[in-house]
Structure 1
Amino acid sequence: MTVFDDLVGQDKAVAVLSRAAAAAGEVVGGGRGAGMTHAWLFTGPPGSGREDAARAFAAALLCPDGGCGHCDQCHQVLIGSHPDLETVRPEGLSYSVKQTRELILRAAGAPTQGRWRVILFEDADRATESAANALLKAIEEPPPRTVWLLCAPALDDLMITIRSRCRVVTLTTPSTDAVAHVLATRDSVPWETASFAARAAQGHIRRARALALDEGARQRREAVLSIPRSLTGVGECVSAAERLVKTAEEEAAAATAALNENETTELRKLYGEGSTGKGLNRGLVRGGAGALKELEDRQKSRATRIKRDSLDAALLELVSFYRDVLAMQFGAAVELANDDIRFDLDQLAKRSTPEETLRRIDAIMQCRERLAANVNPQIAVEAMMLALRP
């Protein structure tokens, strides 16, 4: 067993990373050898396991046995507590230049336990232009023992100057059978449920696990896939848009409520609220109000991102629906992601033309672009619903 065993359907990537980790382990004094470099870029479609691959590689670099999967070093990396691993997750809509410069300073430190200090930058494509320029400078002139692991959906999501300085590891979408096998063997999911979840998730491993284990996730999927047959008029389109946006808002609120409260409480304590004793008062000390306002802004940005991601996931479910309709209209011999609602797919395929189906897919993709451009979600989704109705 190694740290790479959990990477489903990524044999080529595992071979590259294993060789690099072995080469890194053979180098004396923390230098770089054949197959090893100071900056890596992990790309691949959503659900392919970009972050999982980067984390496994980090464990292989920090483990004295090249990623055995059972030592303390590997365990600390996999749970995110290793002192030589810095994990960066942009919580808001983007990652600022201020945050990047602070990260670069931390990255310059020497490792405390091994040869390497590893910076794992999830969603590196969310860095602003100024942040990307600062990151480029750090990658161009890296400290001798620092390794950067950047994750992004595609090469084009990062500046070409950053891409040119990284070794690229491209992950692929795992097959339905591979994902189903993982669910059945590692999560003890019945094979029929595992196959359904893997097919519906279209290779997205975390999404497949959620569909297999969470009844709420299955109910949300059913609600989204019921939208096409409900769009019988303008009023129904507006109602469907309102439900979709409201559901995304509720998910964002549920995901952030407890975290926001804990962060706010800790910050207030840090700035002395509730303290007693000589020279102290029960309110925030100087600077506390500004720090609290900055925290609230970050929390709002995080909630907006979660809401947008939730909406985007629903839109991709709709894309898969119309993609299946198009496949049936052309008689394509492909696996249907939504085979469990074949009757609905067949009915729409018979009532419409391939041109109409393509127009509907284009409307969904345009809605995604509008949401990414900060168009009001209700307006963007309403326009899409009107374009989807028969």
Structure 2
Amino acid sequence: MSVFGDLVGQERAVAVLQKAAAAAADALAGGRGAGMTHAWLFTGPPGSGRSNAARAFAASLLCPDQGCGHCDFCHQVDIGSHPDLTWVRPEGLSYSAKQTRDLVLKGAGAPTLGRWRIVLFEDADRATEAAANALLKAIEEPPPRTVWLLCAPSPDDMITTIRSRCWVVTLRTPATEAVAHVLMTKDDVPADTATFAARAAQGHIGRARRLALDPEVRRRRDDVLSIPKSLTGVGECITAAERLVKTSTEDADAATAALNEVETAELRKVYGEGSSGKGLNKGLVRGGAGALKELESMQKSRATRIKRDSLDIALLDLVAFYRDVLAVQFGAAVELANEDRRHDIETLARNSSPADTLRRTDAIMLCRERLAANVNPQIAVEAMTLALRSPGSAVL
């Protein structure tokens, strides 16, 4: 199967990328290569598969058969071990200018295997302003065989000068049926569970897979969606906010604890800690303290990002709940993301007005904005739950 086979519901984007891969092969053979360019920007909503599309395109450029999906080159790209592919996943809240300059240097070399040198930059929107300017210089004057693949939620998330120099590939949210089909065929998920997960994830394939396969993820979702009917008083609002923030912190700790331990142990080993012998460079051991401090700083930033991402997923689940309430209030013939919560949705729809629902949705979106601006999570979420409590409450 072609490397593009995993891109669910992205037929238009796949056609563009396949045409470009053919043009790239033509350029390598001495042709004009019309339809191929050195900088690409993959955009689309969360879960649409931006990084998967970029990875598939990288494989199609590095594979002699334009992404056959079964050769060594395609396999190396899939696991991130191809010598001509630099795959960047920002670990923290932002990506610095120093990191970007190091990345530009890596992308400046000639390809090892003679085809292309590719830099795949996930979450490129996390680049700081200085980092974006450093990246711009590399994109403006790239080496002849270097290709930049940038991923961001929207073209507007990148500075105009970068966006204008990239070929933008826009991905869309896959249909529920397409996501459910992937879960059933690739993960052996029962049809009813697959449909539930695909609908609840609103087309986010990774989220749908976690909902389908992990009971703990489903339990946390149920906890979040039980919040609206639990907000009967101020005390309950404070308790719900505390529980939501605590759960996000626990998720982040669980996701990073094992990884942090492995990274720290490997770094200590590199700097010779615990070793002995005449040949041991004591200065090297002492020099590891600075590297260890830098690693701990990165790990702390990563934990903060994961905590924020976990909390944001919970807030988006609440937005989807109130979107369903609004759909019922207007009698819209649309699929409910939270069909399993229809009773709660219909009850709230009867006991409130569309204006109340819109106000509550605004309160959640304001909370997301405040969290993005580094407001204390507990304070931001408490303000949100208080605003959700009753029709007459104001957005704080």
TM-score range, shorter chain: over 0.9
Higher deviation after alignment, 183-192 or 373-382:
183-192
Give the Cα–Cα distance (whole angstroms) in 2 for the partners of residues 312 and 32 of structure 1: 46
Report the AA paired with residue 316 of structure 2.
L
Report the AA paired with residue 225 of structure 2.
L
**How far is 1:196 from its partner?**
0.8
Q: What's the counterpart of residue 28 of structure 1?
A: 28
TM-score (norm 1): 0.98
Give the Cα–Cα distance (whole angstroms) in 1 for the partners of residues 279 and 212 of structure 2: 57
The aligned runs of 1:62-101 (5 Å cut-off) are: 62-101=62-101
Q: What's the counterpart of residue 297 of structure 2?
A: 297
- Given the alignment of the two structures, is residue 14 of structure 1 paired with residue 14 of structure 2, yes or no? yes
TM-score (norm 2): 0.96
Match of 1:119, SS?
strand
Residues 28-71 of structure 1: CA deviation (Å, up to 9, x unaligned): 36886111000000000000000000000000000000000111
Report the AA paired with residue 285 of structure 2.
V
Across the aligned residues of Structure 1 and Structure 2, the Cα RMSD in angstroms comes to 1.4
Give the Cα–Cα distance (whole angstroms) in 1 for the partners of residues 172 and 30 of structure 2: 31
The aligned runs of 1:241-252 (5 Å cut-off) are: 241-252=241-252
Match of 1:4, SS?
helix
The aligned runs of 1:207-246 (5 Å cut-off) are: 207-246=207-246
* CA spacing shift, 1:339–1:85, aligned 2, 3 Å: same
- Given the alignment of the two structures, is residue 4 of structure 1 paired with residue 19 of structure 2, yes or no? no
- Given the alignment of the two structures, is residue 178 of structure 1 paired with residue 178 of structure 2, yes or no? yes
* CA spacing shift, 1:273–1:300, aligned 2, 3 Å: same
Number of residues of Structure 1 aligned to a counterpart in Structure 2: 390
The aligned runs of 1:42-191 (5 Å cut-off) are: 42-191=42-191
Equivalent pairs: percent with the same residue? 78
Q: What's the counterpart of residue 393 of structure 2?
A: none
**How far is 1:287 from its partner?**
2.5
Match of 2:120, SS?
strand
**How far is 1:167 from its partner?**
0.2
Give the Cα–Cα distance (whole angstroms) in 2 for the partners of residues 142 and 283 of structure 1: 39
Residues 234-262 of structure 1: CA deviation (Å, up to 9, x unaligned): 11111111111111111111111111111
Q: What's the counterpart of residue 266 of structure 1?
A: 266
Match of 1:92, SS?
coil
Cα pair 2:328 2:346 within 8 Å, conserved = yes
Q: What's the counterpart of residue 353 of structure 2?
A: 353
- Given the alignment of the two structures, is residue 288 of structure 1 paired with residue 295 of structure 2, yes or no? no
Residues 273-293 of structure 1: CA deviation (Å, up to 9, x unaligned): 222122748897332222111
The gaps in structure 2 that reach 5 residues or longer are 391-396
- Given the alignment of the two structures, is residue 386 of structure 1 paired with residue 365 of structure 2, yes or no? no
Give the Cα–Cα distance (whole angstroms) in 2 for the partners of residues 167 and 279 of structure 1: 53
Report the AA paired with residue 295 of structure 2.
L
**How far is 1:108 from its partner?**
0.7
**How far is 1:272 from its partner?**
2.3
Cα pair 2:26 2:32 within 8 Å, conserved = no
Match of 2:68, SS?
coil
**How far is 1:311 from its partner?**
0.2
Match of 1:188, SS?
coil
Report the AA paired with residue 89 of structure 2.
R
Report the AA paired with residue 211 of structure 1.
L
Give the Cα–Cα distance (whole angstroms) in 1 for the partners of residues 83 and 381 of structure 2: 44
Match of 2:6, SS?
coil
Give the Cα–Cα distance (whole angstroms) in 1 for the partners of residues 25 and 284 of structure 2: 50
The aligned runs of 1:296-315 (5 Å cut-off) are: 296-315=296-315
Cα pair 1:273 1:284 within 8 Å, conserved = no
Give the Cα–Cα distance (whole angstroms) in 2 for the partners of residues 110 and 280 of structure 1: 36
Higher deviation after alignment, 303-312 or 175-184:
175-184
Report the AA paired with residue 329 of structure 2.
Q
* CA spacing shift, 1:275–1:311, aligned 2, 3 Å: same
Match of 2:113, SS?
coil
The gaps in structure 1 that reach 5 residues or longer are none
**How far is 1:346 from its partner?**
0.5
